[in-house]
Amino acid sequence: MRVNEELEKKLRSRPQKWLVTGAAGFIGSNLVERLLKIDQHVVGLDNLSTGHRHNLIDVEKEVGPKWERFTFIEADIRELEACRKACDGAEIILHQAALGSVPRSIKDPISTARSNIDGFIHMLVAARDCGARRFVYASSSSVYGDCPDSPKIENNIGRALSPYAVSKYVDELYAGVFSLTYGVESIGLRYFNVFGKRQDPNGAYAAVIPRWMDAFLNGKQPVIYGDGKTARDFCYIENVINANLLAATAADPSAVDKVFNIACGRSTSLSELYTIIRNSVAAYKPEVLSIEPIFEGFRKGDVRHSLADVSMAKGLLGYEPAFNVEQGIEKTAEWYVKR
């Protein structure tokens, strides 16, 4: 399922030049793939610090001859001139580049700030100077911090619990200032625990779903931090791609200079998630049904519960989650097994 066919038909009728930062990463490479499939011209920017060339090689295989519409720039958003070069001629910018991970930011707050704050400002300046029509950027549910409200509503946030959360909230503030001061049309998307194909299962800061997928496929016991009752609003990558296209093309002026929750609007505990993933992998490897998890202590900076209210995104962007958690996990498991 995809964002409504009318929008894709409209985009195909008038191809535009898009810039996707973090293009070799998980979310960025999926955005590049969709844009190329609907005949857009795409520039990708990535310094390959957390993104991978093999993601782009995979995109090339998926899109075939349409790959000719793609230009890759290996450079760093911490360099203003690199941002200006990448933005040149771009009509729409989808800014995904960042240093993710709450634990990483706690270990190294300076690197997080340099990429997520300094790099973000560089991109805003470059977007302003090149006259881009729309600047859509990735924010995070981490900005809600210790806010006790459930579900999370965009205007109510709490105290940030990590340097990563601070960096994403600062981005939202800067985007608002650039919209007010310079007329840069921006829309922020607060992602809630995105998962799907090409998400890296390796490394100290790998997200829970690819890490558990990899463990099951290798006959290992996945680790649950805490008691298993920690809950998240997990969102399949196709929902996020749709949200970006809707934000990039939103004609309603009231949607501009706002930040939207992008999620499924459903909370799933880690114990429930464990069962969903195990059952999905078991369709290919029945022996994993005997694997039980390992429980370890809670991680510092983790939010205990997270559930999104997506009504504002539905009302102003026309966003509707096309895949629920189970459907997304099934498709993700199929991709990891084939990989």
Q: Is residue 226 part of a domain?
A: no
Q: Does the active-site annotation cover 164?
A: yes
Residue 24: give its domain's CATH number: 3.40.50.720
Report pLDDT for 252.
Answer: 94
Range of the domain at 56: 5-194+235-265+308-322
| Tens of pLDDT, residues 192-233 | 999 999 999 887 667 899 999 999 999 999 999 888 888 999
Report pLDDT for 3.
Answer: 54
Report pTM. 0.94
Q: Is residue 164 part of a domain?
A: yes
**Choice among 137, 144, 164, 274 that is catalytic:** 164
Q: Is residue 116 part of a domain?
A: yes
Is the Cβ–Cβ distance between 243 and 317 less than 8 Å? yes
Q: Is residue 71 part of a domain?
A: yes
Query: d(Cα 191, Cα 177) in Å, to the nearest integer?
Result: 21
| Total domains in the fold of the chain | 1
Is the Cβ–Cβ distance between 267 and 307 less than 8 Å? yes
Q: Is residue 26 part of a domain?
A: yes
Tens-digit pLDDT profile for the chain (339 aa)? 455 778 888 999 999 999 999 999 999 999 999 999 999 999 999 999 999 999 999 999 999 999 999 999 999 999 999 999 999 999 999 999 999 888 899 999 999 999 999 999 999 999 999 999 999 999 999 999 999 999 999 999 999 999 999 999 999 999 999 999 999 999 999 999 999 999 998 876 678 999 999 999 999 999 998 888 889 999 999 999 999 999 999 999 999 999 999 999 999 999 999 999 999 999 999 999 999 999 888 877 666 778 999 999 999 999 999 999 999 999 999 999 988
Q: What's the Rg (C-alpha) of the chain?
A: 19
Tokens, residue 120? 């973000």
Report pLDDT for 206.
Answer: 73
Q: Is residue 227 part of a domain?
A: no
Mean pLDDT computed over every residue of the chain: 94
Is the Cβ–Cβ distance between 72 and 114 less than 8 Å? no
